[in-house]
Structure 1
Amino acid sequence: MKNNETLYLKIAKIIEDQIHHETLVMGDKLPSVRSAQKLYNVSLNTIKQAYLELESRSLIESRPKTGYYVSKSALRSMALPTIANINHFESKNTPEDLIDKVFGTISKSDVTQFALGIPGSNFLPIAKLNKGIMNAVRIRSDAGTAYEPVQGTEELRRAIAKWALVMERKITEDDLVITSGAMSAIYNALMATTSPGDSVAVESPAYFGILQAIKMLGLKAVEIPTHPLYGLDLDALKKVMPEIAACCFVSNFNNPMGFQMPDENKRELVRMITAYNIPLIEDDIYGNLYFGAERPKPCKFYDEAGLVLWIGSVSKTLAPGYRVGWIAPGKFKDKIIRQKLVQTVCNSSLYSDVITDFLEHGRYDHHLRTFRNKLYSNYLQINRAVESYFPDSTKISQPKGGFMLWLELDERISTTDLHHTALAQKINFAPGRIFSQHNQYNNCMRLTYALEWNERVENDLKKLGRLAKNSI
């Protein structure tokens, strides 16, 4: 670890301890950045990183032109969700009909969408993307009608590799294959690393799209319990390693829990899969949406054996409907390319050009900073609303990035029934039951906060909280 990283984390820990011991209480103002610089005898950048780290943990908040203050969420009134005790002998019945209901309102503008894992249009640089489409059509002699290479255009792969700064030049354009979004990459990765009847380790709760892909390929999902802050239980995973063919995890800002695996856990996970020669499919589509000082590294960063298949996409940050994703498949690259040739031949060359142009000339870093600031502001808003409007017994996750919030309600509440009632009032959320193949998480829900925060959203959260209270 670099010295400045050690310093900013040490300073953040000192302030965090002061908050937990109530030396600093809610509403207290912290020293200004310059005052803190003199107090700790460090650089301005180190103090800024420390404060950003504390902000990412919702311990402090910045107020324009006045400084940093201990936030209300620093003194959480609601506990973290419990770690599931997974019963693998329970009946398996993935509720496809419930998933269909959740997605059935995707085009309905009169429904408040807390359910879908896509950013609202106000988060997206639509004007710049439209300009990019017009430029691509004008520049291309074929107007985008020709096939592009199966692996994807070299220009797009090079642009993605260039922007993958977190990999510290460990990824080049030759390592990448362009896919039709992240789910296509996950599906292809599962096909390349397993055979029908094999078992695949997944987090629990797990993104329902991954569970559906595993089922459709004739595979078996083995759910591994997770901690709401630190993620995967590595000891539980180790016990099942001899019986699984692959792992499929979301290590950074997991969907639906929102946790971020610590770096040391990622290193240990890669060490484990290397020892057992088991491939890891790593869905890292939320990695750029961090609240802290820097982007967390993926497991792929620690991979020396080519066993980690690293997946990314612009669906969560730029253009969900363009379906532009990618995979760095390591030793499985040739197999992935052959599969893609049979399945889709290639991607849309027009959209590839638009994304390439945006990465090169659209100030992607500026867009991401603005996006992250909006997401963090929304996270604080939805956290406050849940604490204000939902039952006092509600347990709430504490994401460090992404745009998912996981709630665990009173055991007497069925969020499947609650979903039916809420949908009748034009409110959509994702019931917890769809995030497991087993009959569990029935009193949980996932809320998305990547939507424009306005009075209607606030009021609908208040309605949803009232419906939850009435269900007890």
Structure 2
Amino acid sequence: MKEILYQKIAMTMGSQIRQGTLKTGDKLPSLRTVCREYGISMNTATQAYIELEAKGLIVSRPQSGFYVNYKPVHLSVPATSQPVAKADEKCVENLIANVFHSLNDKSVTRLSLGVPENELLPIARLNKELVSAMRGLKGSGTEYEEIQGNLKLRRDIARLTYTWNGNLNEEDIVTTAGAMNALSIGLMALTQRGDTIAVESPVYFGILQLAKSLGLNVIELPTHPVTGIEIDALKKALPKIKLCLLVSNFNNPLGSCMPETHKKEVVKLLATHNIPLIEDDLYGDVYFGKSRPKPCKAFDEEGLVLWCGSVSKTLAPGYRVGWVAPGRFKEKIIHQKLIHTVSSTTITQETVANFLENGRYEHHLRNLRRELHANSLHYIRAIAEYFPEGTKVSRPQGGFMLWVELDERIDTAELYERAIRQKISIAPGRMFSLQDQFNNCMRLTYGQRWTEQLESKLKLLGSIVKGM
């Protein structure tokens, strides 16, 4: 009788989910509430939710509860990118500048902004740590920090790598002014003008601009929105490249996450050819599954992987606190840092170091992950409901980004111009490549609290697309 009852409850709730009464991202009643409303035991309620979870209709989040996870079947995932060998020199600087111009306009719904909004950050607690840092540091934080970086912060970062068996210590870490500074220093230390590097395609436009500014050639590798770069494409590129730069966990803008088997193979391939890998892992802590995905650094036996990260996407974007574990290239990295920055910012490093202690950062991350996961599901449901048939959307399991592919006749640069007039900002896909591709794609970010107003903006954006 108990088996029939839990199946009946699961069937009823499953029907509500499929019909849209319970929508993607909605939090379900707690198990105790289900027990009380249905007059059943805790075991029966648990079995009903296990049944729904097994069917992919709901998802459990530790210390939070159960959420609707129903994904409309008519939304396909974008295909693997197919960049061509020759780059198109079509200028996108104006497009990037236009998108960035709206970032500080509070009247604009910034679906283009790849960081969490202030409401998702522990600003009050950070302020307390900032005051504490000022009181505790010599000269109230006005003195230069040692070149390798704040010792306490380096210890805290090394300690956090236990989640992926990093086995790093404070001497393995060099602090930087954010992750982009870590990437910049790494490229300057390991390449020369005219060298060729390999990256994902699409890839964060800041990486492309950095590579161009250093006079580097870029090979864009075919990339799948779920599993990341194609290994065979990397193999073909190996004889041509001096270095590889990958966002292995929840890539920006695709949201792809390389499986462990792929990461192991990439690290082994590059080691065989003595090619360094700069790994941008600033999204790795924002995972939606049960555990943090390992970075490529976890499989690095030769010291060829430069593991880069920061708190810019999780804690304090404006503090510009990042780091790199440079492996065998530590002295080169420290030399470049000395030349270009002399020292990291003393007071913000101390502030972040204080916050990382005593489990506060982990607690904040749990809350942030829950919020972002729910947001991603809300976005996918809204896009399925309001955008034209045939729209394709990525299915990230972490990070901040959705990659949306529209009908090939839609130019998202033009869509941006139409949307910004309605106070909506998007990131056109053309920004994320040096080649003339992704013109019908866009990146939407979900780093803000879900509200009815936000849903209405997505609905309006969908109607604009339909009108094109």
Report the TM-score when normalising by structure 2: 0.88
- Unpaired segments ≥5 residues, structure 2: 1-10, 23-27, 33-41
Aligned residue for 1:363, secondary structure, equals helix
What secondary structure does 1:373 align onto? helix
Shift of 1:60: 2.2
C-alpha distance in structure 2 between counterparts of 1:146 and 1:67, whole Å:
47
1:404 and 2:401 correspond: yes
Find the aligned partners of 2:87 and 2:311 in 1 and give their Cα distance. Answer: 37
The question of 1:137 aligning with 2:134 is answered yes
Compare 63-72 and 136-145 and name the one that shifted more. Answer: 63-72
The aligned residue for residue 3 of structure 2 is none
Alignment of 1:28-427 (within 5 A): 59-61=57-59, 71-73=69-71, 75-361=72-358, 363-427=360-424
Give the deviation of 1:168 after TM superposition. Answer: 2.0
Whether the 8 Å CA contact 1:115–1:448 is kept in 2: the answer is yes
SS in 2 for 1:203: strand
Alignment length, in residue pairs?
A: 440
Matched AA of 1:261: M
Uncovered stretches (5+) of structure 1, i.e. residues with no partner = 1-18, 40-46
CA contact (8 A) 2:166 2:297 kept: no
Corresponding residue number in structure 1 for 2:7 = none
Structure 1's 71 and 140: CA in aligned 2 closer, same or farther, altered over 3 A? closer
- What is the CA–CA distance in structure 1 between the aligned matches of 2:444 and 2:252, rounded to whole Å? 11
The offset of 1:72, in angstroms, is 2.5
- Tell me the CA shift for residue 296 of structure 1: 0.3
Q: Cα deviations across residues 348-400 of structure 1 (Å, max 9, x unaligned)?
A: 11101100100013611111100000001111111111111111110000000
CA distance in 1, matches of 2:136, 2:125: 16
2:371 partner amino acid:
K
Q: How far apart in 1 are the matches of 2:63 and 2:199? A: 45
The residue identity in structure 2 corresponding to 1:170 is N
**Secondary structure in 2 aligned to 1:188?**
helix
Equivalent pair of 1:94/1:434 in contact (CA under 8 Å): no
Match of 1:9 in 2: none
Residue deviations 1:279-325, cap 9 Å, x none?
00100000000000000000000000000000010000000000000
Q: State the alpha-carbon separation in 1 of the partners of residues 361 and 316 from structure 2.
A: 13
User: 2:413, 2:388 → 1: CA distance?
Assistant: 17
Aligned partner letter, 2:70: K
Aligned to 2:8: none
Change in CA separation of 1:161 and 1:95 when aligned onto 2, cut-off 3 Å: same
CA contact (8 A) 2:277 2:306 kept: yes
In 2, Cα distance between equivalents of 1:214 and 1:367: 34
User: Aligned partners of 1:65 and 1:150: how far apart in 2?
Assistant: 40
Which region of structure 1 is more displaced relative to structure 2, 186-195 or 307-316? 186-195
- The RMSD of aligned alpha carbons is 3.0
The whole-number CA distance in structure 2 between the counterparts of 1:90 and 1:168 is 39
Query: Which range is displaced more, 238-247 or 63-72?
Result: 63-72
Shift of 1:35: 5.1
Structure 2 residue aligned with 1:432:
429
Q: Is this contact kept in 1: 2:99–2:427, CA < 8 A?
A: yes
Query: How much has 1:139 moved relative to structure 2?
Result: 1.8
Give CA-to-partner distance per residue, 1:325-351, whole Å, 9 cap, x none.
Answer: 000011111011011111111111110
Cα distance in structure 1, aligned partners of 2:356 and 2:237: 41
CA contact (8 A) 2:87 2:434 kept: no
Summarize the Cα distance change of 1:64–1:299 in structure 2 as closer, same or farther, 3 Å threshold.
closer
Instruction: Tell me, yes or no, if the aligned pair for 1:194 and 1:246 is still in contact at 8 Å.
Output: yes
Q: Distance in 2 between matches of 1:169 and 1:225?
A: 29
TM-score w.r.t. length of structure 1: 0.87
Cα distance change of structure 1 residues 137 and 93 upon mapping to structure 2, 3 Å threshold: same
Residue 94 of structure 1, CA deviation: 4.5
Tell me: CA distance 1:470–1:169, structure 2 relative to 1, closer, same or farther (3 Å).
closer
Q: SS at the partner of 2:185?
A: helix
| Cα displacement (A) at 1:26 | 4.0
How far apart are residue 194 of structure 1 and its match?
1.0
Which amino acid in 1 is paired with 2:463? R
Q: Secondary structure at the match of 1:288?
A: coil
Deviation of the 1:89 alpha carbon: 2.6
| In structure 1, distance between residues paired with 2:254 and 2:107 | 27
Contact 1:133 1:350 (C-alpha < 8 Å) held by counterparts: yes
For the structure 1 residues 296 and 193, does the alpha-carbon distance in structure 2 shift closer, same or farther, using more than 3 Å as the test? same
Task: Report the CA distance between 1:137 and its aligned residue.
Answer: 1.3
Q: Distance in 2 between matches of 1:244 and 1:169?
A: 27
Please give the alpha-carbon distance, in whole angstroms, between the structure 2 residues aligned to 1:210 and 1:65: 36
Q: 1:201 to 1:61 in 2, by over 3 A?
A: same
Post-superposition CA distance 1:164-206 (Å, at most 9, x none): 2234252111011000000000111111111110110000011
The DSSP-based 3-state class of the residue aligned with 1:72 is coil
Aligned to 2:459: 462
- Distance in 2, matches of 1:69 and 1:170, equals 35
1:26/1:70 contact within 8 Å kept: no
1:64 Cα deviation after fit: 12
Q: Which amino acid aligns with 1:303?
A: D
Secondary structure in structure 1 of the residue aligned to 2:384: helix
Q: How far does residue 65 in structure 1 lie from its aligned partner after superposition?
A: 12
Counterpart secondary structure, 1:260: coil
Cα distance, 1:66 vs. partner? 13
CA distance in 2, matches of 1:441, 1:237: 21
**Per the alignment, in what secondary structure is the counterpart of residue 329 of structure 2?**
helix
